[in-house]
Every structure is written in C-alpha cells, then in structure tokens.
Amino acid sequence: MKIFISDLDGTLLDEKGCVPEKSVEILKRLEEKGVLFTVASARTPLSAAFILEPLRLRIPAILLNGCMLYDLEKRRILWYQAVGKEKRRQVIEEEKKAGLTGLLLAVEKTSDGTETLCMELDPEAGELWEGYFDLERLEACLGIRNGFGDRDRTGAVERPMVYGLYMDREPGRLEQMAKALGRTPGLTLDFYKDIYRDSCWCLEIFSGEASKRSAALRLKKMCGADYLIGFGDGVNDLPLFEACDEAYAVSNGCEALKEAADRVIRSNLENGVALFMEEWEDHAENTDRQSLPFEHCVKGGAV
C-alpha cells in the first residue's frame, strides 16, 4: 500500500496559497480510485483545514512541520509533540524582551477526555493579525477552541504548546528573538519573509524533537502502508524525503532539494504534483513497475 505525501506552500499550492482547480480535479479523481494522498506542511490546522477542504483527505495530515498528525475530516488531533515546559518559559521570556506577542497553539483536554487545539492570541497583538483569521469559520471547526483574549504569559508556560507564530512589519525584533532562542537546544525556528503579504516577517517555533521524517514514518505505520512517495520544494522537505521510498522536487524548488530528489517534476504553477501522480498511477496500472521511467522526469529540470 502506498501513500503520496506533498508539501503545501510552493509545492501543491499556487501563488495565491490555494490548491489549483486542475489539481483538485485530478486529486479527487485519483481519490475515487482509492489512491491515498495527504500533505506534510509547516501550516497549522487553522489554515490547512480550509485550504484542503475541497480534497476531502481520507488519511491524516502531517502539520506543524511534523509536530502533529491531524484528522482533517473529523477535525481532531491524533498525535502531537509539544514544546517542553522550560523551553516554553524561554519563549515567553524572549517575546517579552523583544516587545512582541504572538499566536500560540496549545493542546487542552476537555471534560470528556478528548484533546482540543486552543488558539491563544492577545487582542492587542497588532494590525497584522486583523482579518488574518476567519473567526466564524474557525469557531465552527470541531476540535479548535478560540482562545483570543485568553493570552496570558503565565498560563502559556503551563499549557502544552505545540506552535508559536510571531509577525512584524520589520525583521529586527523577530531577528532578536530568533537569535536568542537559537541558542536553546530542542527548538526548531523558522524565520522568514511572508511570500503572500508585503512588509510582513514571521518567526515560527516548534519542538525540535519532531520532524516531517518522523511524522511520515508514524503515519506510514498508522495506515499500514509500505511505500511512501514524497513531493517538496524547500530545505524543510529534506526530512520528508528521508522517509520516502521515492522523492520528487518541483522545478521551482531549491537546489539542495533537487539534488536530494530522485527526479525534478513540473512546478507548483503547472500542477506538477497532481499531474505526476496521475502519470504515476497510469503507468502503474499498465506495467508491473512501480516507479515512472526516466523520460517522465529530468534530473535538474521539469518535464
């Protein structure tokens, strides 16, 4: 049994951060034939749930760079890796020094014992957060509790935090925070300029104990699969490739990933992942071979 696993931004999604209509059509058609497909992304359930809604994924998604396996259909957490308490304390201390406040995602147990994803954001976090979330849709999501206004630094240390996101118009304060936390072992930091919005810099914080690789292998075991095929565009997809039996980089991807890939396929703007999966499945149906012949992909270039 095989599972196709794709990164989202820069790989499956277009320049607007959406799954292109043609890709949706192909992936839904493959799903109807029994093909198993999911994603491995740094995104949280807050955005991934809506982006992937048209695809109706039947197996869990790997989110938060491998810190969570999330059932998008039932809106529930299947597994997660939290940031340790001492490291949470350091995050809170450094955000205070930098004069920042960000979004924290924590996991809470409800009265019936189920685990709920709680969003914590200070209402005075700043203009960058205005309109960032569709609150009505989020409140309707099963398994996600809206904690806006509940953001207090003392409570944040006590709750099992799985993710932190900080945003600012300029990189300075975020860079200060990233440098300070970069000396803390056991944390993964991603500091970058937002590709979808002008004048927006971001700092994401995860547990360093999780990765796309470990989450992919956990998913493989959970689903009883024996073959993984991965797609990506960036350096953070290298761990995913390590877990896969076959790995493909989109042509718009970074050189380091292309070197690690088995082949390079069409870009994200050319529906590369969906078209490749369609070709892979057609080839598998007509031959006994699993992988596509060399002429379908060119090392270092697109089809």
Domains and CATH numbers, the chain: 2-80+211-296 (3.40.50.1000), 85-206 (3.30.1240.10)
CA distances from 178 to 133, 174, 175, 223, 284 (A): 24, 6, 5, 36, 46
| 74 or 61, greater pLDDT | 61
Burial 142-155 (b: 16+ CB within 10 A, else e): ebbbebbebbeeee
Weakest-pLDDT range from 45-54, 95-104, 117-126, 211-220: 117-126
Give CA angle at 239 (279, 22), nearest 5°. 30
Q: Is the predicted pLDDT of residue 70 greater than 50, yes or no?
A: yes
281: tokens are 């499945």
CA atoms within 13 A on the CB side of 279: 16
pTM of the model: 0.85
Q: Is the predicted pLDDT of residue 112 greater than 70, yes or no?
A: yes
The share of the chain scoring above pLDDT 70, in percent, equals 88
The pLDDT of 224-247, averaged and rounded, is 97
- Report for 38-47, 140-149, 238-247: range of highest mean pLDDT: 238-247
User: What are the DSSP E strand ranges found in 23-181?
Assistant: 36-39, 61-63, 68-71, 76-80, 103-109, 115-120, 144-146, 161-168
Confidence of residue 154 (pLDDT cuts 50, 70, 90): confident
Confidence of residue 118 (pLDDT cuts 50, 70, 90): confident
The pLDDT of 212-218, averaged and rounded, is 97
Task: Please state, rounded to an integer, the average pLDDT across all residues of the chain.
Answer: 87
The pLDDT of 222-241, averaged and rounded, is 96
Sheet holding 227-232, edge to edge: 36-39, 2-6, 227-232, 246-250, 263-265
pLDDT value, residue 289: 47
Q: Is the predicted pLDDT of residue 303 greater than 50, yes or no?
A: no
CA atoms of 89 and 109, how far apart (whole Å): 21
